[in-house]
Structures are given as C-alpha cells and as structure tokens.
C-alpha cells in the first residue's frame, strides 16, 4: 500500500541526509556512527551508567560523587591492581580482595562500541569469574580503549601481550538486573556498573 501511494505521488519519498544535510541515495550505505557515540548509545541501552571525565581531577570528583550517591564512602573495595588503588588512597576506602566488598574497582581491556560491552580478562579479575565478584562495579577506562568489535579487541590483546596472553577473557554487557534478557545476553551476569571514561586523545 505504501509503495502504491508513493508510485501515485500520494505519499512523498522521504529524503535521507547525512549530518551536513547532503542527500544520500537510497542504495548508498548509511554513514556509520562514530565509535564513541555508538558505544555510549549501546552501553546506556544495556543499562550502564556513564560519566565522561576530561581530566584526572574530574575523574576523582565523579568517583567521589558515586561513593556519596551509594553510601560507599567508608566501605571495603575489591581491587586487584595496586596502581588503581593508589590513585584513591586519599579516600576512606579499604582496598582488599574480599569478595563481600561493596564494589569491584578496576580498569578494563577495551570498550566494544557495536555491543556496548566492556572487555575484561584475568588482568583485571585474576582467576575469579564475573559471577564471583561483587554486584557493583566501577570501571575506569580511557577514550583510546574504544574499539568497534570484540574481534578487534582480541586481536589487540594478542598483539599487546605477545606470548603472555591473559586468560579468562570475557565481556560485561548486562548492567541492569531488571532488564529483559535476550538470546545474546543469555548466561551473562548482570552488574550494577559505573563507567568513568577519561579523555586521553
């Protein structure tokens, strides 16, 4: 019916334009979203909480606001990397590897834009599985870690670590316990996750 309306001139054909207003032919491929924009959209769709930080001071400020919002200012934190815990020694947090801690604080391998997932490995989790770690996560990442696909992430891990490849490589992609699961998220462990993304480009 819609085709017939367009054929008879009753329904106008909508023009598709790019970001500059230039008309795009109907057989031309649609322009891809920038990786950072695509990641943000998919990450939020998955239920994640995202805070962009222009510099380290802003990152520390946002981190403090997360602690206040959740009443975590004096709690235990599961953190496997001394380099990260040292950045927050000025807080009243206790850093250890207690699985009963309020939250898990870590960096990540990469941010996957086409799924809005976070790629992690044994470099962050050690020998633990996602299901073993606390429900609440605060992940610190940099804009240079944004990539398109998980395949690209695996290639870069292979290149960066040469022969000492990390094990336990997985993605975190469900950030809302109440979110309806689909086939792609089956078996994943939901985490209440905050992402602090630091500009480094």
Residue 27 domain-assigned (yes or no): no
Give 17 or 145, the one with higher predicted confidence: 145
Residue 73 has pLDDT above 60, yes or no: yes
- Looking at per-residue pLDDT, the higher value among 131 and 23 belongs to 131
The answer as to whether 74 is a domain residue is yes
CA atoms within 13 A on the CB side of 21: 0
- Residue 5 forms part of a structural domain: no
H/E stretch holding 142: strand 136-142
Residue 106's pLDDT is what? 96
Report, as an integer, the average pLDDT of 110-130. 94
Is 23 domain-assigned?
A: no
CATH of the domain at 64: 3.40.50.10420
State yes or no: pLDDT of 51 exceeds 60: yes
Q: What is the mean pLDDT of residues 1-22?
A: 52
Q: What's the start-to-end Cα distance of the chain, in Å?
A: 50
Q: How far apart are CA 54 and CA 65, in angstroms?
A: 16
For residue 156, is it within any domain?
Answer: yes
Q: How would residue 4 be classed by pLDDT, with cut points 50, 70 and 90? A: very low
Whether 184 is covered by a domain: the verdict is: yes
Asked whether residue 114 is assigned to any structural domain, the reply reads: yes
Range of the domain at 62: 33-198
Average pLDDT of the chain is 84
Q: What is the mean pLDDT of residues 48-75?
A: 95
- The answer on pLDDT for 62 being more than 80 is yes
Average pLDDT over residues 126-140: 94
Look at residue 175 and tell me whether its pLDDT is greater than 90: no
Work out the burial of residue 142: count CB atoms within 10 Å of its CB; fewer than 13 is exposed, 13-18 middle, 19 or more buried.
middle
Our measurement of the distance from residue 39's CA atom to the centroid of its chain's CA atoms, rounded to an integer in Å, reads: 7
pTM for the model stands at: 0.80
Domain assignment of residue 28, yes or no: no
Domain count of the chain? Answer: 1
For residue 7, the model assigns a pLDDT of 39
| Per-residue pLDDT band at 166 (split at 50, 70, 90) | confident
Is-contact 105 71, C-beta < 8 A? no
């Amino acid at each position: 019916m819609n085709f017939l309306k367009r054929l008879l001139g009753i329904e106008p054909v909508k023009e598709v334009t790019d970001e500059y207003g230039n008309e795009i032919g109907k057989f031309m491929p649609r322009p891809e979203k920038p990786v950072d924009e695509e990641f943000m959209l998919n990450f939020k769709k998955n239920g994640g909480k995202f805070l962009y930080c222009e510099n380290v001071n802003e990152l520390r400020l946002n981190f403090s606001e997360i602690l206040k919002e959740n009443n975590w200012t004096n709690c235990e934190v599961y953190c496997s990397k001394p380099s990260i815990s040292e950045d927050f020694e000025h807080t009243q947090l206790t850093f250890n590897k207690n699985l009963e801690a309020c939250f898990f604080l870590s960096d990540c391998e990469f941010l996957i834009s086409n799924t809005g997932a976070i790629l992690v490995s044994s470099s962050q989790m050690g020998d633990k599985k996602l299901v073993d770690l606390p429900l609440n996560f605060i992940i610190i990442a940099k804009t240079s870690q944004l990539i398109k696909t998980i395949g690209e992430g695996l290639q870069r891990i292979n290149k960066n670590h040469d022969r000492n490849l990390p094990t336990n490589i997985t993605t975190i992609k469900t950030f809302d316990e109440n979110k309806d699961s689909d086939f792609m998220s089956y078996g994943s462990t939901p985490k209440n996750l905050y992402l602090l993304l630091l500009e480094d480009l």
